[in-house]
């Protein structure tokens, strides 16, 4: 009698080999699909390239602290500086569409009043010391409340809204002597990788107007890079400071989480129990980061060690070339070379050579970020799209968008669909978050930094983020961990677009990120203007 054959189940080794092979095929296909996307969009945009012109007044290129010093020493008047910034904004904004509301006349009046006080000796040395940005113009994103100015959040249903009072961050910078001059463009509700909405339209990159500026502080990044203002306030919930800083070639610092007051930032009251969002700094010079950050920290300034001297040679430097997440595009050769350039620099100068870090849990970064985003107080994107007066129907909105009848753009629709995708299990998400944080804390300690990729490539053509929506995961993972990160520019790539790296440290070690940023600026030149000198 014949015994029936027993079907053999593939063993674990075979399954792993099959899985590895499928992953290799997926990566191969992904690489060539990314190239095809860039080729197709490049054919459409290639004849439309523009860059911002050189400014007629060179003072707009200087850093905020340098300008404040010149005003303090009476080598420059605040009025002259404000007027130069106004002229520059008027020159570049028709090209990049970064500024969406302004207070030019009020800013000039404030500058003239200050100049009069300085000439009369009414401004004491103590006041100059207490107000490090006295007389220097700044801007902020439209979602940061500025009294009397537009406050739409990119929503058509809020197109007539104006803020009734300043956000706390705005108030603090004004108290430090800054003169608010303008507010800048954002994606709808700050929730997309490209700055575009139905109220104000799209913001263009000053290095190449066919390229995007990132989001959500995209208007800020663009106007600072174009030398319209020397510094500005950003907010960051998933890379919203660092993505525009990277794509516009400037410095962006997201501080250790929950140290800066959030009142007046989008719908926030400042009384929320916990958040992965933080306000932070956008500047053209690393020297502006610490004085600016001190202003925003206010009463929490002593919780960081911003005045502590850092000997960069004593630091433990780690680096990574990938997150391990297969949903995100691989780095181009130029982006990989940028990180290795930094590694090589530190190989020469450090007491201990940089080490490549392996953290397997990082491949879950995007899934974890999505989970923690849902834990934000009052988080409900479908409700926020109605200005919290109802809730939109995803199916109905998608249909309206298909027939070009929706008041929401593509980024908002994609976000809306995304909110209905399944989330990681709560227990798994919390356990993995703890494992990830513990692994990184063990590696970084109180004297280590991680050189981490900013993006697979420099700024891409408008709307291509819709076809590769997960790439902002390189930035987002640091929000859920609430680690401090500084985005550092490293010059331009072969297309003339900015590239750079993120410098990450453990919580409350912001001074280490910033010290490395200053070192890299000194070594590689930092901000490169989008216009020829």
Cβ burial 241-263 (10 Å sphere, 16+ → b, else e)? bbbbbbbbbbbbbbbbbbbbbbb
Query: Alpha-carbon distance 233 to 216, whole Å?
Result: 12
46 is catalytic: no
321: closest CA among 368, 365, 358? 358
Question: Are 133 and 177 within 8 A, CB to CB?
Answer: yes
DSSP state of 136: -
Structure tokens at 212: 């995007």
Active-site residue, 216 included: yes
Provide the H-helix boundaries in 419-497. Answer: 426-444, 473-481
Q: CA nearest 370: which of 497, 492, 487, 237?
A: 237
Burial class (CB in 10 A: 0-12, 13-18, 19+), 175: middle
- CA–CA separation, 286 and 296 (whole Å): 16
Q: How many CB atoms lie within 10 A of CB 143?
A: 26
Q: Which of 143, 144, 151, 216 is catalytic?
A: 216
CA 359 – CA 355 distance, rounded (Å): 12
CA end-to-end span of the chain: 91
Q: Is 141 a catalytic residue?
A: yes
- Which residues are 81's β-sheet partners? none
> Strand (E) positions, 99-215?
99-102, 137-141, 179-184, 196-197, 201-202
Instruction: Name 148's bridge partners.
Output: none
Q: Which of 63, 240, 278, 406 is flagged as catalytic?
A: 240
- Distance separating alpha carbons of residues 165 and 238, to the nearest angstrom: 26
Catalytic hit among 131, 141, 254, 363:
141
- Residue positions annotated with a catalytic role: 141, 216, 240
């Amino acid at each position: 009698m014949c015994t029936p054959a027993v079907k053999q189940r593939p063993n674990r080794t075979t399954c792993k080999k099959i899985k590895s092979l499928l992953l290799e095929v997926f990566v191969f296909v992904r690489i060539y699909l990314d190239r095809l996307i860039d080729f197709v969009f490049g054919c459409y945009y290639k004849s439309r390239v523009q860059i911002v012109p050189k400014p007629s007044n060179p003072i707009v290129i200087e850093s905020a602290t340098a300008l404040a010093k010149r005003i303090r020493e009476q080598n420059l008047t605040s009025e002259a500086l404000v007027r130069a910034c106004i002229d520059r904004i008027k020159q570049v904004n028709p090209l990049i569409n970064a500024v969406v509301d302004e207070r030019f006349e009020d800013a000039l009046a404030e500058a003239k009043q200050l100049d009069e006080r300085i000439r009369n000796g009414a401004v004491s040395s103590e006041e100059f010391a207490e107000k490090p940005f006295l007389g220097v113009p700044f801007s902020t994103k439209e979602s940061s409340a500025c009294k009397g100015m537009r406050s739409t959040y990119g929503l058509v249903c809020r197109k007539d809204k104006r803020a009734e009072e300043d956000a706390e961050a705005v108030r603090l910078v004004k108290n430090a002597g800054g003169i608010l001059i303008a507010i800048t463009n954002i994606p709808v509700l700050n929730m997309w990788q490209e700055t575009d909405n139905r109220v104000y339209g799209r913001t263009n990159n000053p290095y190449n107007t066919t390229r995007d500026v990132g989001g959500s502080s995209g208007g800020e990044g663009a106007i600072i890079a174009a030398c319209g203002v020397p510094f500005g306030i950003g907010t960051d919930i998933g890379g919203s400071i660092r993505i525009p800083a990277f794509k516009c070639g400037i410095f962006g610092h997201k501080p250790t989480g929950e140290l800066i007051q959030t009142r007046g930032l989008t719908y926030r009251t400042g009384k929320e129990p916990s958040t992965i969002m933080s306000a932070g700094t956008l500047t053209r010079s690393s020297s502006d980061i610490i004085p600016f950050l001190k202003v925003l920290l206010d009463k929490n300034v002593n919780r960081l060690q911003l005045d502590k001297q850092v000997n960069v040679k004593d630091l433990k430097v780690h680096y990574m070339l990938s997150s391990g997440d297969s949903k995100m595009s691989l780095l181009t050769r130029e982006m990989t070379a940028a990180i290795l350039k930094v590694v090589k620099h530190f190989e020469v100068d450090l007491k201990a050579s940089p080490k490549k870090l392996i953290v397997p849990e990082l491949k879950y970064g995007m899934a974890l970020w999505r989970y923690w985003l849902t834990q934000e107080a009052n988080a409900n994107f479908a409700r926020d799209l109605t200005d919290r007066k109802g809730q939109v129907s995803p199916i109905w909105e998608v249909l309206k968008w298909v027939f070009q009848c929706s008041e929401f753009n593509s980024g908002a629709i994609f976000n809306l669909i995304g909110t209905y995708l399944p989330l990681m299990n709560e227990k798994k998400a919390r356990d993995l978050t703890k494992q990830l944080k513990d692994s990184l804390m063990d590696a970084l300690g109180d004297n280590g930094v991680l050189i981490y990729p900013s993006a697979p490539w420099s700024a891409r053509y408008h709307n291509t983020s819709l076809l590769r929506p997960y790439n902002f995961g390189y930035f987002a993972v640091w929000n859920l961990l609430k680690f401090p990160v500084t985005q550092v520019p490293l010059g331009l790539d072969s297309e003339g677009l900015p590239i750079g790296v993120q410098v990450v440290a453990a919580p409350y070690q912001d001074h280490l990120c910033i010290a490395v940023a200053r070192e890299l600026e000194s070594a590689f030149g930092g901000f490169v203007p989008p216009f020829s000198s």
